[in-house]
Structure 1
């Protein structure tokens, strides 16, 4: 990556950060407008980390719970795309360059499912947001599924302010959902 590309990426993250400051200061409409303009610039094919970050914050700027859910799903899709792209790159590095996961033995290698290290810390918050969205939309079963995924992914969080805050939010939502009727999801060991 050239210095010019790095500066451009830093400027984009700075602009996203400025919109988030507006959001946290209570100016949801201006934050939404700025994030929307940035989204138009980077588009659906832009940098996955930028798309994930922007969509995650854009969800928080929405007034309609269905719109919030749509943006949180975009954030998760971008995170998963980063994971899948890196898994293919890793498969190419390990194998014959085809990315097929086949090592030539006829049996193939197991699918690489580990999240990209930079994304691993986002998954608890992404799934927590989706759980909250589904609860707002009165879909407690879907909320429980994502809350279980948030809890399973929480091991990636550091013991710092951010990590402790996400874990506390997971616990609060777990208490709220405990009062809701409905089946409980099975744990997701692949995300622990």
Structure 2
């Protein structure tokens, strides 16, 4: 997924990733990115990274849902390429909160956009996450 390395919000998020071993410092960069983001694209990118630093599953899910909602507003090729990952993150949040029906719904939505993923590396990782999420959230009667 191409991101403009000259975009200030992308730069702040990249700097935050460089400090993820120092969660408080990373969070400062991600929160600053969120505060300075202007476009839906910048806001969805910042929200995605803010989500990664949340102390609870419920808080992470809230930010993951925000990132998804903003990406859906953007409607660019770059944001569309993020849909599978964003739906996967939301699905995992619902699964962790034991809302398996909503989790499965989001995993299915992630699957519906999986054709946008590259065939290597990142794409394989996201497809695997989707497959595993769908398997974990199957109705027990379907597992037989």
TM value normalised by structure 2: 0.86
Output the aligned Cα RMSD: 2.1
Asked if residue 174 in structure 1 is aligned to residue 134 in structure 2, the reply is yes
> 1:141 touches 1:182 (CA, 8 Å); kept in 2?
no
Asked if residue 151 in structure 1 is aligned to residue 111 in structure 2, the reply is yes
Large movers: runs of 4+ above 6 Å = none
Distance in 1, matches of 2:19 and 2:128, equals 24
How far off is 1:10 after superposition? 2.5
In the alignment, which residue of structure 1 is the partner of 2:41?
49
Bigger RCO (CA 8 Å, 6+ sep): 2
Deviations 1:119-165 (A, max 9, x none): 22100000000000001111111001000000111011111211111
Unmatched tracts of structure 1, length 5 or more: 1-5, 84-115, 184-192
In the alignment, which residue of structure 1 is the partner of 2:73?
81
In the alignment, which residue of structure 2 is the partner of 1:31?
26
In the alignment, which residue of structure 2 is the partner of 1:135?
95
TM value normalised by structure 1: 0.66
Residue aligned with 2:118, SS: coil
How far off is 1:61 after superposition? 1.2
Deviations 1:154-179 (A, max 9, x none): 0111112111111111122222223x
Distance in 1, matches of 2:90 and 2:9, equals 25
Larger radius of gyration: 1
In the alignment, which residue of structure 2 is the partner of 1:3?
none
Unmatched tracts of structure 2, length 5 or more: none
Residue aligned with 2:54, SS: coil
Deviations 1:83-135 (A, max 9, x none): 2xxxxxxxxxxxxxxxxxxxxxxxxxxxxxxxx32222100000000000001
